[in-house]
Amino acid sequence: MTIGTQTAAAAPARAPHSGQAGTFEIRPLDAPLGAEIVGLDLSEPLSAEDFARIHRAHLDYHVVVFRDQRITPAQQIAFSRRFGPLQIHVLNQFQLAGHPEILIVSNVLKDGKPIGLGDAGHFWHSDLSYKEKPSLGSLLHAQELPAEGGDTLFANMHTAWDTLPAHLKAAVEGRKAEHTYLAKYAELQQRSPWRPNLTPEQIAQVAPVLQPVVRTHPETGRRALFVSEHFTTRIAGLPEDESRDLLAQLFAHSVRPEHVYRHQWQPHDLVFWDNRSLLHLAAGTPDHLRRVMYRTTIEGDLPL
């Protein structure tokens, strides 16, 4: 089964919010999730009505792609803040100068040193699931794109839960799992130059937390799996071997091709995804090609 890409759907819209209305159009993608928003300039003031349409589309489709956004870092931050407080990434080495709310995601080296986090998204994950209040959503704005590679994959964790075999649903119902930022940090350090040694203060910011294995979306009420290969280390209350086996089954089921949309970036795309509904993965960029992205991350609620 093929993974959906960013082609706009020819079929009828999957929700009542599609089609031309006001100043922009919402087009569902021919994929298990996602919609593109065209005809909107986020550098201009956004009315309450237009913001409400964007908010609704984000809930309906889990990923919204704003095309051709020539916005400044300050404008990206201001738009992101309309959805909630912003979270500052623990790797403050890769903050954009003058804008600590922006994490630079980049494989570029300057004077032999990385300007950003070059291996972000190497494993499937939900951003900041290792925090007591994980991320509501993240916004990634394309600054410089490679001629090939650099795609981002998104997996729908609502459909992953809906299609999970009954015996696995029973096994995880009501359970919690440990999430920690350090789960694969040493492994990533060995692979590339992108992971600096953490200071004691940084380590203190990412103490392990327990999160529900199945969480209820605070705005839609839909249930979703909330585990990932990057940050989830064990299911509380289970023997180690049983926990490891159960997590492996959940990870494999979550990212089956029928749950996944592959985003092929276009210049100046701004992509806004719901970390309560999705996992995502960076497909990778050839070492000799440059990729520079700016990310803001919105704080969410205590998972229920």
Residue 20, Cβ density class (10 Å: 0-12 exposed, 13-18 middle, ≥19 buried) = exposed
Cα 284 versus chain centre, distance: 15
Cα 195 versus chain centre, distance: 19
Place of tokens 């794109």: 145
Q: Is 268 a catalytic residue?
A: no
The first and second tokens of residue 302, run together, are 């205590």
Distance CA 254, CA 274 (A): 16
Q: Which residues, in sequence order, are bridge partners of residue 24?
A: 21
Residue 220's identity, in one-letter code, is T
Q: Which residues, in sequence order, are bridge partners of residue 64?
A: 35, 272
Q: Is 241 a catalytic residue?
A: no
The one catalytic residue among 217, 234, 262, 295: 295
Q: Is 253 a catalytic residue?
A: no
The one catalytic residue among 27, 62, 89, 125: 125
Angstrom distances, CA of residue 117 to CA of 26, 73, 92, 139 = 31, 17, 10, 15
The one catalytic residue among 17, 89, 280, 291: 280
Cβ atoms within 10 Å of 80's Cβ, excluding its own = 24
Q: Beta strands 63-66 and 35-38: pairing type?
A: parallel
The one catalytic residue among 127, 158, 274, 291: 127
Q: Is 127 a catalytic residue?
A: yes
Distance CA 36, CA 147 (A): 22
Residue 278, Cβ density class (10 Å: 0-12 exposed, 13-18 middle, ≥19 buried) = buried
* Residues assigned a catalytic role: 125, 127, 280, 295
